[in-house]
A and B are shown apart, each in its own frame.
Chain A
Amino acid sequence: MSDLPPSATVGQAAPDFTLESTPGKKMSLSELRGHPVVLVFYPADWSPVCGDQVALYNEMLPVFGDHDAQIVGISVDSVWCHAAFANDRKLHFPLLADFEPKGEVARRYDVYEAAGGTAERALFVIDADGIVRWRYVSPIDVNPGADGILEALENLPRHRSGS
């Protein structure tokens, strides 16, 4: 599939993927259709900046909920690493393991940092129809906060569920 990468550009459909969220349980982006999705690529569990970043998003779950949005984290760590990290930080949103083949989803979103072998620190806001509406790549050592995400969610056209 790396032959024709459907790059995740604004205005285009977000490339679908299926990754493990917890040991033995898979999650697909397409399952979330009907809700805006905040996709957070980050380099690694446990590293200090990521820690702050996920802690912030964890506190913001009610705010994302107000927008009917689902937040999903993705890194190249394994499900077992994610499970330990989520438990330690009391995280209440899914972390997906872009573990095998390593970083494939990050590559498809064009946010793989080959030198370090991790995802970049990248944010995507995808609308309820699966279209990328906003993307932002932060310098790897800078926690991007959430003001951009919030603004992007507010700028989404109001989605009315037909069924």
Chain B
Amino acid sequence: MSQLKPPVGPDDHTQGPIDAAIVLVEYGDFECPYCGEAYPELKAVQKAMGDSLCFAFRNFPLSNAHPHAERAAEFAEAAATIDRFWEMHDLLYENQQALDDRSLVGYATQLGFNKTLIESALSGEFATRVRRAFTSGVRSGVNGTPSLFVNGRRYDGPRDADSLIDLFKRMG
């Protein structure tokens, strides 16, 4: 039970070699405070593990609980089309308290979105991509955010950097 579906592939937003020994997937919501807490921890894990880790992020916005989460996720998907997904991901987590449309347009402009792309992102053109990620999460057994998967299995242990690094070093 709780097996990642589908496995990480070329359609995913990844950092690190896709065939790394350890593949860590986060289902996250940009407005979720627990995801915000996990953000610097996961950065530290990536830094410590280097090329032995592949990190992938999939959108899982809880839009009833977090009014800006869906639109923020759509902007991240829009950023991916100009190869700026991770810059947007980082900006959103570093500015979790400012995710209204105006702020999102500000980050988009900063990352070089043109007017057409901003309009597409605001008009819901990327909603399908977000929905697809969300549905894959539900099928994989995501039960809240953030949900982590390590080499395809849901990981329910502690999410601080030290615990994860320790686990990954033992696995590697």
A residues engaging B (CB < 8 A)?
52-53, 55-56, 58-60, 63, 89-92, 142-148, 150
Chain B residues within 8 Å of A63, by CB: 135, 138
- A sample of 25 inter-chain contacts (CB < 8 A) reads A52-B143, A55-B64, A55-B144, A56-B138, A56-B143, A59-B63, A59-B64, A90-B65, A91-B64, A142-B143, A143-B144, A144-B143, A145-B138, A145-B142, A145-B143, A146-B138, A146-B141, A146-B143, A147-B1, A147-B2, A147-B139, A147-B140, A148-B1, A150-B138, A150-B139
Chain B residues within 8 Å of A52, by CB: 143-144
Q: Between A and B, how many residue pairs show CB distances below 8 Å?
A: 51
Chain A CB within 8 A of B62 CB: yes
Chain A CB within 8 A of B134 CB: yes
* Cβ–Cβ contact A143 & B138, under 8 A: no
Proximity bits, B22-38, A CB within 8 Å = 1, else 0: 00000000000000000
Chain B residues within 8 Å of A55, by CB: 62, 64-65, 144
> B134 — nearest CB in chain A belongs to which residue?
A59
> A48 — nearest CB in chain B belongs to which residue?
B144
Report if A89-B1 is in contact (Cβ < 8 Å); known contacts: A52-B143, A150-B138, A150-B139. no
Report if A147-B65 is in contact (Cβ < 8 Å); known contacts: A53-B143, A55-B144, A56-B144. no
State in angstroms the CA–CA spacing of A121 and B2 once bound together: 17
Near A by CB (< 8 A), chain B positions 126-166 give 134-135, 138-144, 156
* Cβ–Cβ contact B143 & A143, under 8 A: yes
Chain A residues within 8 Å of B61, by CB: 59
Q: Which of A92, A142, A150 lies in contact with B64, CB distance below 8 A?
A: A92
> A144 — nearest CB in chain B belongs to which residue?
B143
Proximity bits, B53-80, A CB within 8 Å = 1, else 0: 0000000011111000000000000000
**Nearest 9 Cβ contacts at the A-B interface:** A52-B144, A145-B143, A143-B143, A147-B141, A145-B141, A90-B64, A58-B64, A146-B138, A55-B65
> A138 — nearest CB in chain B belongs to which residue?
B143
* Cβ–Cβ contact B65 & A89, under 8 A: yes
B64 to chain A, nearest CB (A): 5
Chain A residues within 8 Å of B156, by CB: 142
A135 to chain B, nearest CB (A): 15
State in angstroms the CA–CA spacing of A112 and B41 once bound together: 39
> A148 — nearest CB in chain B belongs to which residue?
B1
State in angstroms the CA–CA spacing of A59 and B64 once bound together: 7
A82 to chain B, nearest CB (A): 16
* Cβ–Cβ contact A89 & B138, under 8 A: no
State in angstroms the CA–CA spacing of A127 and B114 once bound together: 50
Chain B residues within 8 Å of A146, by CB: 138, 141, 143
Chain A residues within 8 Å of B142, by CB: 56, 145
State in angstroms the CA–CA spacing of A60 and B142 once bound together: 12
> A151 — nearest CB in chain B belongs to which residue?
B139
State in angstroms the CA–CA spacing of A118 and B138 once bound together: 27
Chain B residues within 8 Å of A142, by CB: 143, 156
Chain A residues within 8 Å of B138, by CB: 56, 60, 63, 145-147, 150
